[in-house]
Amino acid sequence: MNNFPQIILASKSPRRQELLRLMDIEFRVVLKDVDESYPDHLKPEEIAVYIAEKKARAFDESVVDEIVLTADTIVCIENQILGKPETPGHAVEMLQLLSGRMHRVITGVCLLYKHQYHSFYDVSEVYFGKLTDEEIRSYVNKYQPLDKAGSYGIQERIGLIGIERINGSYTNVVGLPTEKLYRELMNL
């Protein structure tokens, strides 16, 4: 067990919540609406951290003795950012683009504690095998991945049948690099 201060998870992601539970970290969820736009000149790693910090800034005036944990995950293929799809058709297009190729999953994390920002990121390379259009459409119809960067969840069917290998952290691809997060929490 740990002796961390109370943690506020500023995310509605059930995957991030489950990862924290598996780490035996107690937390409560508090959500605030944040504009997730970013300057065009940023590199993909900088974008993920920028948005995570932007989410944390929404809490800066209201939280002191608690740790606010924010995160943002993006999918990047050849420096093209794949955010959350706007429609099922857009999700199909994204998965067709990822099929048979390597892409990077980047998660930026920010820990706000006593008005100090502790930010970091992790990068994982994900290699998809070739997917058929039928496999892609079936996945999109059943799982409705409109809330997922890159249009997929690694823990769902498409990840189980399509991902050949990962270089880097699996939990980062799920949405939270737990190994780095734990070390950063211990250093606070």
Which domain range does residue 37 map to?
Answer: 7-187
In angstroms, the CA 71 to CA 25 distance is 16
Q: Is residue 1 part of a domain?
A: no
Q: Is residue 72 part of a domain?
A: yes
Q: Is residue 2 part of a domain?
A: no
Query: Residue 118 in 3-state DSSP?
Result: strand
pLDDT tens for 145-158 read 999 999 999 999 99
Predicted local distance difference test score (pLDDT) of residue 3: 80
If you average pLDDT over residues 157-175, what whole number do you get?
Answer: 96
Mean pLDDT value across the chain: 95
Q: Is residue 177 part of a domain?
A: yes
Find, among 134, 125, 128, 154, the residue nearest to 92 by Cα: 134
Q: Is the separation of the CB atoms in 152 and 159 below 8 Å?
A: yes
Q: Is residue 114 part of a domain?
A: yes
Domain holding 87: CATH number? 3.90.950.10
pLDDT tens for 34-85 read 999 999 999 999 999 999 999 999 998 888 799 999 999 999 999 899 989 9
pLDDT tens for 85-94 read 999 999 999 9
Q: Is residue 56 part of a domain?
A: yes
State in Å, rounded, how far the first CA of the chain is from the last one: 16
Q: Is residue 158 part of a domain?
A: yes
Q: Which residues pair with 149 in a beta bridge?
A: none
Q: Is residue 77 part of a domain?
A: yes
Q: Please determine, for residue 1, whether its predicted confidence score (pLDDT) is greater than 60.
A: no
Q: Is the separation of the CB atoms in 104 and 73 below 8 Å?
A: no
Please identify every residue annotated as catalytic.
Answer: 72
- Whether the model clears a pTM of 0.85, i.e. scores above it, the answer is yes
Domain count, the chain: 1
Give the β-pairing of 27-29 and 7-9: parallel
Predicted local distance difference test score (pLDDT) of residue 19: 97
Tell me, rounded to whole angstroms, the distance of Cα 25 from its chain centroid.
18
Please state, for a pLDDT cut of 70, what percent of the chain lies above it. Answer: 99
